[in-house]
Amino acid sequence: MGRIEDNDVCQGCGVMIQTEDKNEPGYVPASALKNEMIICQRCFRLKHYNEIQDVPYLDSDFLKMINQISETKSLIVKLVDIFDFNGSFIKSLHRLTGNNPIILIGNKIDLLPQSTNLSRLRQWMKKEAADLGLTVQDVFLVSAKTGRGYNEVKNAIEFHRKGQDVYVVGSTNVGKSTFINYLINESVGAKDVITTSYFPGTTLGFIEIPLDQTSSLYDTPGVVNRGQLTHYLSQEDIKVVTPNKEIKPRVYQLNSQQTLYIGGLARFDFIKGERQSFTCYFANGINIHRTKLDQADQLYNHHLGGLLSPPSQTEVKNYPALVEKTIKIAEEKVDIVFPGLGWITLSGTPATIAVHTPSDVPVSKRKAII
Ligand code: GDP
């Protein structure tokens, strides 16, 4: 059996190879070290199965790539998860892109209720991006799973790239692999999919997928964002909070001084205002628990991990303390957005509410999209 030499890199993407951890960049099964040409598992899967696999990198590693992309002339395609816009939005991205144009793509629209106003969602994404310091050429919504919205996106990519390369960026779990695999299977024959080049002098690999004779689409590794709610949860709990089919609205008529718990992950207090309805849009499997405001703290202290879960009992110790924020709502129909979870729509009757979430998973407010 072969041994790893100090300077062994993947012949496909240039990543430093390792045999220890399947889920980390550069993984090669030890048995493959004896091969003449060593390629990492990610490149192997692309080459032989026509399949991109996402490999996570921590922020600091990802940032090392910035200069490489900003030195290119290219189009940036930035993918976000519409259920986790803030959590999946990499703020440092505009430094990464130099002056290259960016199109922003919100993925997973198949999970939205039919009645969703997609153009309002698009507007909101555009505004949020601008507030975060990113100017985008355009915003699109797709479902990488069903293919909805793809044609429009493909045309936009062709139009905006003006014959140049394309870099697809996004944080882990936004559906980047699903998105690229769809593109590959649609547009490129299996035999043409090869990973051919990398940026020399770096231990981080981009995967190249040729678009035509002179230009390529590059898959960049998914960045892990610490401010993502899922970062605090176990795989089991992530399954519960991540919607896997169209979400069903759940409506609660609340009097003031009542509280809703979203599992044990976040809390919503209706403090002041006339009795009104609150419509919750979360994964159908998340338990929403209603209680009186004055009993809410006690309930949390006694039942987190049990009645109020996820987080499940074993994960409670890893879940950060909730921080309260008070919001006054005038006569406007708004969504209170919980990154990584979903949102609650208010009816348009004036109200004072308080939300409780981990400090680095702050809620935001937008015009109702439904
Ligand atoms: P990556 O880490 O960004 O490469 O994300 P993946 O492509 O591995 O997808 C992460 C998870 O989201 C997987 O469970 C996918 O099945 C799911 N997913 C990706 N795209 C969609 C989509 O359009 N709709 C739905 N419902 N799920 C999606």
pLDDT in tens, 280-328: 999 999 999 999 999 999 999 999 999 999 999 999 999 999 999 999 9
| Residue 216 and residue 92 share a domain | yes
Sheet containing strand 334-338, edge to edge, reads 250-254, 276-282, 342-346, 334-338, 364-367
Q: To 10 degrees, what angle do helices 150-161 and 176-187 make?
A: 80
Average pLDDT, the chain: 87
Pocket test for ligand 1, best of 24, 142, 172, 178 (most atoms within 8 A of CB): 178
Residues in the chain: 370
Q: Which two tokens stand for residue 73?
A: 């002339």
Instruction: Pick from 80, 116, 173, 238 the residue to mutate for probing ligand 1's pocket: most ligand atoms within 8 Å of its CB.
Output: 173
CB 175 within 8 A of CB 108: yes
Residue 165: pLDDT band with limits 50, 70, 90: very high
- For residue 174 and ligand 1, the question of a CB distance below 6 A is answered with yes
Same domain, 215 and 74: yes
Domain carrying residue 319: 250-367
Please name which of 214, 89, 217 lies closest in space to residue 154, comparing C-alpha atoms.
217
* Residue identifier of the C-alpha nearest atom 22 of ligand 1: 108
53 Cα nearest atom in ligand 1: 4
Among 252, 274, 254, smallest CA distance to 349 is for 274
CATH for 166: 3.40.50.300
For ligand 1, the distance from its centroid to the CA atom of residue 144, given in whole angstroms, is 7
Amino acid identity, position 113: P
Task: Check whether 200 has a pLDDT greater than 50.
Answer: no
- Are 219 and 96 contained in the same domain? yes
Please check whether residue 149 is in contact with residue 141, taking contact to mean a CB–CB distance below 8 angstroms.
Answer: yes
Best CA proximity match to 317, nearest among 305, 331, 302, 330: 305
278 and 201 together in one domain: no
Summarised one tens digit per residue, pLDDT across range 249-274 is 999 999 999 999 999 999 999 999 99
pLDDT in tens, 225-254: 777 888 888 888 998 999 999 999 999 999
Q: Which of 6-20, 25-39, 137-151 has the lowest mean pLDDT?
A: 6-20
Secondary structure class of 174 (helix, strand, coil): coil
215 and 257 co-located in one domain = no
Phi-psi region of 147 (alpha: psi -120 to 50; beta: other; left: phi over 0): left
**56 CB within 6 A, ligand 1:** no
Q: Which of 227, 343, 322 is nearest to 278 (CA)?
A: 343
CA of 175 to the centre of ligand 1 (A): 4
Considering 225, 260, 286, which residue would you say is the last residue of a domain?
225
Q: Report d(CA 263, CA 288) in Å as an integer.
A: 6
324-370 tens-digit pLDDT: 999 999 988 999 999 999 999 999 999 999 999 999 899 999 999 99
Q: pTM for the complete prediction?
A: 0.85
- Give the residue, by CA position, lying nearest to ligand 1 atom 2: 173
Domain count, the chain: 2
